[in-house]
Amino acid sequence: MFPRHKTREIFVGKVGIGGDNPISIQSMTNTYTQNIPETSRQIEQLAAAGCEIVRVAVPNKEAAEAIPKLVQASTVPLIADIHFDYKLAVASIEGGIDGLRLNPGNIGSYQNVLKVIEAAKPKQIPIRIGVNSGSLSPEMIKKYGVTPQALVESALEHVAILEKAGYYDMKISVKASSVPFTLAAYRLLSQKVDYPLHLGVTEAGSEFSGTIKSAIGIGTLLAEGIGDTIRVSLTADPVKEVAVAQHILRDLGLRKGLEIISCPTCGRTEIDVIGIAAEVEKRLQKYADADLKVAVMGCVVNGPGEAKEADFGIAGGKHQGIIFKKGEILKTVPENKLIEGLLEVIENYQNEN
């Protein structure tokens, strides 16, 4: 449905990004990286939640020294987030890191860039160039103002440095905390390069606000075929970022997974749709990766018909309800047996398939 913008393929460890690879999900730890047990635990929590690439901050030598053990313990590729100090980048590569986030214009000199690339090249370690609206240089602001164009030009300056050094294993992000700004920057960038793009809205806010901002920003771009890997930024437990990212991909049909449709309640509803939908969602979590569409509908009259594209569903009447499969009624049960009945038919079906 969305013709995807063609990009080059790079690899962060085993995870292909760009080209025909599926859109991948990233997040970042918020532990002190040098605290190896805590950082490893969080990496595994993220991986278990469906995060495919995890970034860790490497602000100092201690963090860089933790990389080998973190890499060894991790089931997913790791990226080191580096600012200013090229030695931390080189140390991270030597420590077995799978990717870098580093802006080559910010590490002191072109000589330093060459040292990083010398270490990165044999292992094809990709580098993400990540600029954001808050960190534009005064020169860039003078030339273009704080605009999407300034953000893109800033990214392209960093890109040019890597290209000058003959290095092309890169992806790019141009994040802003404003959604329209972010959309404009990525749209412009995608016309100018064929490197894979890493999407995100930066400093998006709390779990609630940030979820909405990220869903609009990332979702709109993906719906235009722009973007190869995504990171939802929330001021919250990073595991929640992964849940939101998965929903965004599923909702756009870019990834298979459980989808629960449920009607808003209205003056016609005769069962507790809110409670039942929440309970069904909770109890079906074990099928989160299944290609399964389940409906929870308020009324028997419209329910099965309106939700006939669902694999299974329930619809409520007065003190009782029906369980249906692809729009066909399987049985009628009392309201308090609806959830059990639905789970039973889904479990039977899943076991058979």
Q: Which is nearer to a copy of itself, 1 or 166 (CB)?
A: 1
Q: Which of 72, 124, 191, 209 binds a copy of itself (CB under 8 A)?
A: 209
Contact (CB, 8 A) for 298 and 265 = yes
What's the CA gap between 329 and 123, in Å, rounded? 57
CB of 294 to a copy of itself, least distance (A): 10
Alpha-carbon dihedral 208, 22, 20, 113, rounded to 10 degrees: 70
Q: Tokens 């080191």, residue? A: 80
Instruction: Give the binding range for a copy of itself (CB under 8 A) out of 5-13, 18-26, 53-61, 114-122.
Output: 53-61
H/E stretch holding 130 reads strand 127-132
CB of 159 to a copy of itself, least distance (A): 21
Q: How far apart are the first and last CA of the chain?
A: 28
Instruction: Give the binding range for a copy of itself (CB under 8 A) out of 7-15, 32-40, 115-123, 158-166.
Output: 32-40
Strands 259-262 and 293-297: parallel
In the Cβ-directed half-sphere of 28, how many Cα atoms lie within 13 Å? 22
Q: Any idea what the Cα angle at residue 193 is, between residues 184 and 98, rounded to 5°?
A: 105
Contact (CB, 8 A) for 53 and 79 = yes
Q: Which of 72, 191, 206, 336 binds a copy of itself (CB under 8 A)?
A: 206
Instruction: Give the binding range for a copy of itself (CB under 8 A) out of 164-172, 188-196, 219-227, 316-324.
Output: 219-227
H/E stretch holding 290 reads none
Q: Which of 11, 21, 32, 73 binds a copy of itself (CB under 8 A)?
A: 32
Q: Which of 108, 180, 225, 334 binds a copy of itself (CB under 8 A)?
A: 180
CB of 243 to a copy of itself, least distance (A): 8
Our finding on whether 65 is near a copy of itself (CB under 8 A) is: no
Q: Which positions from 275 through 304 interact with a copy of itself, judged by CB under 8 A?
A: 277-278, 281, 295-297, 302
Q: Which positions from 248 through 277 interact with a copy of itself, judged by CB under 8 A?
A: 248, 251-253, 259-269, 273-274, 277
Our finding on whether 64 is near a copy of itself (CB under 8 A) is: no
Which of 318, 286, 289 is closest to 301 using CA atoms?
A: 318
Report the interhelical angle of 338-352 vs 273-283 (nearest 10°).
30
Q: Which positions from 148 through 177 interact with a copy of itself, judged by CB under 8 A?
A: 177
What's the CA gap between 39 and 238, in Å, rounded? 12
Please give the structure tokens belonging to residue 286: 């074990």
Binding-site size, a copy of itself (CB under 8 A):
82
Q: Which positions from 78 through 97 interact with a copy of itself, judged by CB under 8 A?
A: 81
Q: Which is nearer to a copy of itself, 256 or 268 (CB)?
A: 268
Q: Which of 308, 325, 326, 337 binds a copy of itself (CB under 8 A)?
A: 308
